[in-house]
Amino acid sequence: MKSAPDLRRRSVLVTGAGGFIGSHLAERLAALGARTRALIRYNSSNSWGWLDNSPAKNSIEVILGDVRDRDTIHDAMRGVDTVFHLAALIAIPYSYRAPLSYVQTNVVGTLNVLHEAVAADVSVVVHTSTSEVYGTAQYVPIDETHPLQGQSPYSASKIAADKMAEAFHLSYGLPVTTIRPFNCYGPRQSARAIIPTIISQALKEPVLRLGNIEPTRDLNFIADTVEAFVMAADCQDAIGGVMNVGTGQEISVKELAETILRLLGKDLPIESQNQRERPEKSEVYRLCADNRKARQILGWEPQHTLEEGLLKTIGWIERHMDLYRSDSYVI
């Protein structure tokens, strides 16, 4: 894999910087010497999310605001040459309950970022997609030409956001590169995701209570995902394109649970609960990335095996079990 670019002369904005991927990315950018500004959703407690206790927080300028407010984006983008847009509502189960909020944040919020990026004449916007836009795989591995399927309100909102990014590139000449991460995991991820759910339950509960255990996922460790974002910001050949970021390997939820139990030295029964399952036609049964474009154009490739990433994630969750409610279902 290519080495990380020299970003010491770059001024960057990370939207959604208080979240799982965003906080790791902001820290990595600061470590590479970029003048890093983080946009974090306003809250009355003045929390910076995962950056609250980050060792890099003194190297990052934090702005509290909301991507749904265009004035906020205008102010956050002053003096910025590179934008990493990660702000989004991401929990799929909650999107069934509150679809409008996903349109407002994921579509309108993205529109605001793109509008202001044009006005600010930034050098590049790295836009965040998701493998959920593909829906259940019609063929594997999934390349970037695979049809897009809105199988949940969340995925539909992300398809719209991706197409808005494409439209701004084609209509206004905005330099946009879209990174499409497959299932990212690692330290700091919330229990709405499958790996923290399995690990936290395995550490405290007598049984694993999961949803549908048959679907397969392509799991990519957080540090590898972040590196793809960094490399995309320095790759002119990637502008106007979409890049899958995944390992090219798939594993079922059942096999994943068994792997985690083995790494923990535990033997627990696995139960499927209806309340944790998606509606049948909304379930994405298979995801597996074709990552050749990212390898060829970005020079990116994953550096962690699944077991290496899981061990790092297990260690972090063991030290932060106070953040997880293993006995309840988190949507």
Catalytic center residues:
154
Q: What is the DSSP string of 183-252?
A: EEE-TT--TTSHHHHHHHHHHH-SSEEES----EE-EEEHHHHHHHHHHHTT-GGGTT-EEEES-S--EE
Q: Alpha-carbon Rg of the chain, whole angstroms?
A: 19
Short-list 186, 253, 242, CA closest to 218: 253
Q: What is the dihedral of CA 27, 227, 11, 21, to 10 degrees?
A: -50
Bond prior to 279 in cis (omega within 30° of 0) = no
Task: Assess contact for 10 and 35: CB atoms under 8 A.
Answer: yes
Residue 119 DSSP label: H
Instruction: For residue 37, list its beta bridge partners.
Output: 13, 61
Helix (H, G, I), strand (E, B) or coil at 181: strand
Task: Assess contact for 17 and 49: CB atoms under 8 A.
Answer: yes
In whole angstroms, give the CA distance from residue 283 to residue 17. Answer: 29
